[in-house]
Copies of this chain bind each other. A is one copy, B any other.
Amino acid sequence: MQRFINNPDDLVDETVAGFVKAHRDLVHLDPANPRVVVSNAAPQPGRVGIVTGGGSGHEPAFIGYAGRNMVDAVAVGELFSSPTAKSFADAIRAADGGAGVAVLYGNYAGDNMNVKMAARMVAKDGIEVATVVANDDVCSAPAAERAKRRGVAGEIFMWKIGGAKAAQGAPLSEVQAAAQKAIDACRSVGVGLGPCTLPGVGHPNFQIEPGTMEVGIGHHGEPGTRVEALKTASEVADDMLRIVMEDHALPPGSEVAVLVSGLGATPVNELYVLYDRIEAGLTAKGMTVHKALVGNYFTSLEMVGATLTVMALDGELKALLDLETASPAL
């Protein structure tokens, strides 16, 4: 395993320690819980707090999105594992400015359970909690069962919109509604070209044979909808766009935001090759890209592959997306 690691058991703590040192102008550790990263702008008195959290190994997600006008506090889990209920609860407490807290997270069993428990824990402190569960991964369940879909890179747009709405002073119900609207407007798909290895395990937890690719793969190597021969970048980009847009069914003239994220070990230039083709495909459909993000925004250790997220925009989402923000990753 050609990796920069010490004891695998220390990897998450060391990651978080380095992260809060490198970005001390924006974030700090919760003094009460070393698995909670808090924005230096939090809590915002009288404003809704924004919390997220998830397993580690997806850096810069989730911790990189703590910051001003973004996420107020992030609960940090072990590699590819949900944060504890206590960490979610401590994150909620750290984000609480007295106007309630919106917890915006991804649809995974552990996270669902622990966020629910956390909400009960902080209810005793009088903190009102609203939740939005991201489920933007098209290939993880049919459209008719969207509630079963996993949350993936669309979460970044959900956090951005929720954080912006909270920054504008909206009440909890409106922040929740805006974040829900954001994730409802997102569709994502992942394509995997190479697996990843949890350092404590020491070998890949799934395989992708050379010469093949897995379409619809999840952020932890969850099986995709099909394994097929590796295609050209343009063909892959076309496939990704088709999968996302068939689920979206947007009218021509729509404005969208696009995120192409590497999964950790994909050369940055290839993400731009994909983006070039994706934007061309959107333009051909009569769509306009209002904002594009291309880079390693939501990774899976050293997985080779990429995700595409397309968010449909209206006037409100555009304005919230454009609101100035400052976080380590955005």
* A residues adjacent to B (C-beta < 8 A): 2-6, 11-12, 14-19, 21-23, 56-57, 59-60, 193-194, 208, 210, 213, 230, 232-234, 236-237, 264-277, 279, 289, 292-296, 299, 301-302, 304, 306
Contact = CB atoms under 8 A, between A and B. Distances in A.
Interface of A is mostly: mixed
A22 B272 contact: yes
A313 to B, nearest CB: 16
12 contacts: A4-B233, A4-B237, A4-B271, A11-B269, A14-B276, A15-B269, A15-B273, A22-B275, A264-B265, A265-B267, A267-B301, A268-B299
Contacts of A22: 272, 275, 279, 292-294
A89 to B, nearest CB: 24
Contact of A60 (B60, B237, B268): B268
Q: Which 8 A-B pairs have the closest CB atoms?
A: A18-B276, A18-B272, A265-B265, A59-B268, A2-B193, A4-B270, A22-B292, A18-B275
A267 B3 contact: yes
A51 B295 CA distance: 24
A19 B273 CA distance: 8
Given A4-B193, A16-B272, 19 more contacts: A2-B210, A2-B230, A3-B193, A3-B270, A3-B304, A4-B233, A4-B266, A4-B271, A4-B306, A15-B272, A18-B279, A22-B275, A22-B292, A23-B292, A56-B269, A59-B268, A264-B268, A266-B302, A302-B304
A5 B268 contact: no
A271 B59 CA distance: 10
A211 to B, nearest CB: 8
A194 to B, nearest CB: 5
Nearest to A292: B22
Contact of A275 (B21, B232, B233, B293): B21
Contact of A273 (B11, B23, B194, B289): B11
A59 B272 CA distance: 10
